[in-house]
Amino acid sequence: MHFLIFGETGQVARELARAVPAAGHSAEVLGRDRADLRDPATCAAAVAATGADAVINAAAYTAVDAAETDAETARLVNAEAPGAMARAAAARGLPFLHISTDYVFDGSAARPWREDDATAPLGVYGATKAEGERQVTMAGGPHAILRTAWVFSAHGKNFVKTMLRLGAERDTLSVVDDQQGGPTPAADIAAALVTLAEGIAAGKPGGIYHFAGAPTVSWAGFAEAIFAACALPRKPSVLRIPGSAYPTPARRPANSALDCTRINDLYGIAQPDWKAGLARVLKELETDQ
């Protein structure tokens, strides 16, 4: 298969650039210079003109707090552009794969969220991602929406790299302990997307799938695991705090755990072990130094 991928510099797109050739496929990866998601028509034109067999949108507006005051840009990037791409892909019968988020939920459930649970975003970011899901679904073509959470890798901005940077500077770090989720290695998301694309092209079911790391952990617990596994010469202590002690412009869901049964049952894609993924990322970061 030949893939058209949006989001050249993002964490998942960079891992797709590795995963696609490793799976025996090829890809063209578009950056903002060629397909700016603030211009949905340009993105749709790229899909209409592609010679690819499948399209993956790995680009998004992910600045959760900034979205509260930049709602129009977030809507263009997270809803209008994916919708335009999906309609262009549907017109040609191309499988369209799109990444969404745990933030489409309000976090109030006492169990992991399932694909058919009602969405109720707490902020602009989640609302624009939920709208993107609706537009992709309504486009009517073969598609898959992969909801994931707490993405990390050796690339870009993410919690792992932030903890390593701050941990090298401070003796103690205060980290929120009452928000639970599944840290997810970007490399595993990329591999899952390739498998989904292959399956949809072969006639397997599309729709919404959940894919996040296991076991569920709090941000504070994740931070402690990062410091336990990393090679910092002097490791900070983690002070576990409630989210109320670290106010942000956008509210975060307390429970971001995702039930990943469906993708395992239909595609044989198991939940990734985030601890194993963390070890790989830390090794890559050490190698790059």
**Model pLDDT, residue 231:** 86
Retrieve residue 200's tokens. 């949809």
Q: How far apart are CA 57 and CA 103, in angstroms?
A: 18
Cα 274 from Cα 218, distance rounded (Å): 13
C-alpha to C-alpha distances, 248 to 60, 97, 152, nearest whole angstrom: 20, 31, 21
CATH topology of domain 2-157+183-213+257-272: Rossmann fold (3.40.50)
Q: With 0-12 CB in 10 A as exposed, 13-18 as middle and 19+ as buried, what is 104?
A: buried
DSSP states along 128-169 = HHHHHHHHHHHT-SSEEEEEE-SEE-SSSS-HHHHHHHHHTT
Are the C-beta atoms of 108 and 251 separated by less than 8 Å? no
Q: Which of 135, 121, 123, 46 is nearest to 87 (CA)?
A: 135
Three-state SS at 77: helix
- The tens digit of pLDDT for each residue in 251-265 reads 999 999 999 999 999
DSSP summary character for residue 78: I
Find where tokens 């034109």 sit: 45
The model's pLDDT over 26-44, given as tens digits with 9 standing for 90+, comes to 999 999 999 999 999 999 9
Percent of the chain with pLDDT over 70: 100
Q: Taking 70 as the threshold, does the pLDDT of residue 57 lie above it?
A: yes
Dist. CA 141–CA 219, nearest whole Å: 37
Enter the tokens of residue 262: 């469906």
pLDDT at position 289 is 61
Give the active site residues. Answer: 125
